[in-house]
Amino acid sequence: MVDFKTLSTRAQPGFKRPHRLALATLGPRAFAFCHTFGLTLWIALVEGSGWTLIGPGLLLLLWPALAYGHAVLAQDSKRAEFRNLALDSLLFGMWCGVLDFYVLATVTIGLACFMNNMVVGGLRRLAVSMALFAAGALGWGLSAGFEFRPYVSTELDIYQVTGAVLYFLALAYVMYGQNRKIGRSIAEIKFQNRVFHALLDLGVVANRASNIHTLLDDSLKHLHADFPEYGFAVFLQERQRPEVTRYAAVAGLRLGAEDERQLGGLLATLQERPESTVKLRVKPDGEQLYATPMAGRLSMYEGWLIVRAPRLDRRLERMLTLFVDQLAAATENKLLHLALKKTAERDGLTGLYNRGFFESALQLSIQGKAQSPNLDFAVLMMDVDGLKQVNDRHGHVAGDQLITTVAERLQVHCRASDILARYGGDEFVVLFPSADLAAANRLASLIRTHLEGQRCSITSANGERLTLELRLSLGGASSCETSAQEVLALADERMYDDKSERRRQRAALG
């Protein structure tokens, strides 16, 4: 399908900004040709040649505009400006012939042409300029005859010298401006390279981090290492409760606990989430803080990247936007990764570790025992008595409630280093890394004391409230009493022995 809008746009002649060389030479060229016209006018008045010299001299006033228009309309404005500089040499060479090679004018105008071309193109352009200048002068001399005007007047010499000095100073100023632009461009490139390397570092940090706290802490440390002149902080607040700061990290900022609380509270008061960086005035010691929001970049949190800087300029604001995007993407990916990992490692009903995770942890303990024989581990197997009867009489909903109740109460008595997992339908298991049988016996004793015979309330499938007593069969084993590969099997065997013994006891009592 033809895009008529595009065709119509292309059909229109476009006026684009010319190359910086064309812009830089516009002023000096206009001054040079106007000055040369003044020189021509002065000579015409002194010698009484009138319009025979002044009329053609008016063409000198048109050339700067024609040259600039040529650069604007050309496809390659830089190449067009090179041609303009070459034509400057040709035209000035001819005009020196028109002025009968007035010595001071010929020398200063020629030097100006040669300098212009050498500055932009080196020795090659200098040679071209000299050749064209000589060709213009020689061509005019051959067509109109060679006449020489070595001197006109002292006043005209002063005029010409003054113009030459002003032109060379103007040219030097233009070169100074170009050098400043180049210097700023180099500084901008160096700054962009720093930003680029910092973004790469953030990507590496995000991949290595095991949790959100580590990710944010290490990310800000890397940022501060790459940009030591700035200080950084990040705050992630709950979306539904913006006054609650869920995660925070600081690097290169002097923020105490009270400062962090005040800053988090200040960010929470910003009801309208701005899309751009805002200025914060929270530090009495002269530090200026700026906050860039992670608005719309996080699904669960509202995030803010805080930076300490003397002032906010366009370069810093672009940098903050890039860092915010990178941090937000890394945080969101890490949250998703942790959620998926939790789903893969956890039992869907109880939230405990699942069988797959337990078996992986058990293999690590077995390998540790093989490498270090003195490094023991223990296992405690548990089975919930009566679950089948609850499922059969009251439904699986009631049975699930019984399982979750047992899981919750077991967690109360397990230590942070203990790995509690749901092993099967009514079976639980605890792995005690770097421990012997005493650890399993300790937990078994707690269960016998605090869980055995305790009552719990559940609801049957038809809504009936039921009260049940908790009964668990237990069996423990350790790598100090059997081979590492046989620990789980021995614990399982002892658990079933305990279950059989408890059944015999209940049968004897019944």
- Note whether 375 and 462 are same-domain residues: yes
Q: Which range of residues forms the domain containing residue 235?
A: 209-344
Residue 351 falls in which region: left (phi positive, over 0), alpha (psi -120 to 50) or beta: left
- Note whether 299 and 373 are same-domain residues: no
Instruction: In whole angstroms, give the CA distance from residue 246 to residue 260.
Output: 12
Question: Residue range 379-400: average pLDDT?
Answer: 88
Instruction: In whole angstroms, give the CA distance from residue 430 to residue 410.
Output: 10
**254: pLDDT strictly greater than 80:** no
Read off the tokens for 273: 């989430």
Read off the tokens for 37: 């016209």
- Note whether 151 and 260 are same-domain residues: no
Read off the tokens for 377: 């581990």
- Give the CA-trace dihedral at 94, 97, 102, 103, to 10 degrees: 70
DSSP 352: S
* Range 217-226, long-range pairs (CB < 8 A, 24+ positions): 217/249, 217/251, 219/249, 219/327, 219/330, 220/249, 220/250, 220/251, 220/252, 221/251, 222/198, 223/198, 223/251, 223/323, 224/251, 224/252, 226/194, 226/197, 226/198, 226/201
**Domain count across the chain:** 3
For position 281, which CATH number holds? 3.30.450.40
- Note whether 24 and 173 are same-domain residues: yes
Per-residue pLDDT, 281: 64
Per-residue pLDDT, 7: 35
- In this structure, is residue 190 part of a structural domain? no
> What separation in angstroms does the CA of 249 have from each of 80, 234, 235, 339, 405?
55, 5, 7, 21, 37
DSSP 17: P
- In this structure, is residue 413 part of a structural domain? yes
- Note whether 225 and 159 are same-domain residues: no
- Note whether 257 and 284 are same-domain residues: yes
| Longest CA–CA separation in the chain, Å | 145
Mark which of 314, 344, 374 sits at the end of a domain: 344
- Note whether 332 and 402 are same-domain residues: no
Instruction: In whole angstroms, give the CA distance from residue 301 to residue 496.
Output: 48
Question: Residue range 436-463: average pLDDT?
Answer: 89
Confidence label for 378 from pLDDT (cuts 50, 70 and 90): very high
Question: Residue range 399-423: average pLDDT?
Answer: 92
- In this structure, is residue 5 part of a structural domain? no
Average pLDDT of the chain, as a whole number: 84
pLDDT in tens, 98-129: 888 889 989 999 999 998 888 888 899 999 99
DSSP 484: G
pLDDT in tens, 284-310: 555 688 888 887 778 888 888 888 888
- Note whether 266 and 324 are same-domain residues: yes
Containing 331, the helix (H) or strand (E) segment is: helix 314-345
Whether the full predicted model's pTM is greater than 0.75, yes or no, is no
Task: Name the one residue in this structure whose structure tokens are 């002025």.
Answer: 99
Per-residue pLDDT, 434: 87
Number of neighbours of residue 403 by Cβ within 10 angstroms: 22
- In this structure, is residue 172 part of a structural domain? yes
